[in-house]
Amino acid sequence: MTYPDSTSIVVDSVTKEFTLRYHRTLKQMSVALVKGRDLSDSFLALQDVSFTVDQGESIGLMGLNGSGKSTLLKLVQGVMRPDSGRVLTRGRIAGLIATGAGFHPQLTGRDNIYLNAAVLGMTEQETRRKFDEIVEFAEVGRFLETPVGNYSSGMFARLGFAVAIHVDSDIFLADEALAVGDRPFRKKCIERMQEVRESGRTLFYVSHSAGSVRKMCDRVIVLEKGKVGFDGEVNAGIRYLKYDEGPEDEPDSQDEVDDEIGNDI
């Protein structure tokens, strides 16, 4: 099947399965076998998920923890492959979907800016031209020349987001939970993603915040236990989830941010 040039993302009948292993050591496995216990189990993180996104659309991806949002984001970015179905994207993809993704812990913040930018498709010349802007946005200060293995998770995320947001991409993927730091920094991240939206790029935004989704998105997709439960207008999607509106420049509560950071599915 062919798609028009205006199509940015295609997710076609995608299923992704993971295996849960209950025992780590040989001794634990041996004891479990003797007692007749299962060594592992499998579960479907995504089940027959399908939708298309047009260039320039701003999609709010919502759902409870464990619904499959992070897995879907990784499939769209290309760091995972579906077990069945297909994911097609058009153009360069940038974004931050995992704290510290693409960083080498023994290299300094400076070196990791160049490394991470290269992973995201930027040339060395592009990175050099935008380097000062990236550093200013990240707010890592004197820690720029320190190995990132010594960074806090918040500093990791700030540096990663700063690089990703400066990539000239066609699609930007953003997990709200990774726009971490104090309130002014989170607000700055939201404002920059607004600029991404207004520039005509496709925005794929994972969020628990009804307020920020209303502000930034023109369509909501809700995942429920790995399936698409809703796909449509923003306010209708929020009502479907029964989410109350919180502050418009940040998640509804820090607890929701903490929960989402600990959730990799």
pLDDT in tens, 242-261: 875 444 444 444 434 333 33
What is the token pair recorded at 178?
């990774």
Any domain includes 178: yes
Any domain includes 2: no
Range 159-194 burial, b when 16+ CB lie within 10 A, else e: bbbbbbbbbebbbbbbbbbbbbbeeebbbbbbebbe
- Total domains in the chain come to 1
Percent of the chain with pLDDT over 90: 41
CATH (domain of 229):
3.40.50.300
Tell me the backbone φ, ψ of residue 35, rounded to 5 degrees. Answer: -90, 0
pLDDT range class, residue 124, cuts 50, 70, 90: very high
Any domain includes 1: no
**CA-wise closest residue to 213 among 262, 179, 248, 188:** 248
Any domain includes 222: yes
Q: CB of 28 within 8 A of CB of 38?
A: no
The DSSP bridge pattern shows strands 7-21 and 84-89 to be antiparallel
What does each C-alpha distance from 210 to 66, 170, 188, 245 come to in angstroms?
18, 25, 18, 5
User: How many angstroms separate the first and last alpha carbons of the chain?
Assistant: 29
Q: What's the domain range around 77?
A: 7-31+39-261
Q: Which of 23-32, 94-103, 155-164, 204-213 has the lowest mean pLDDT?
A: 23-32
Model confidence, pTM: 0.78
pLDDT range class, residue 44, cuts 50, 70, 90: confident
Write down the H helix ranges in 38-182.
69-77, 109-119, 124-138, 153-165
**Per-residue pLDDT for 11 more than 50?**
yes
User: What residues have CB less than 8 Å from 64, skipping those under 6 apart?
Assistant: 224
- The mean pLDDT of 181-199, rounded to a whole number, is 82
Q: Which H or E run includes 232?
A: strand 227-232
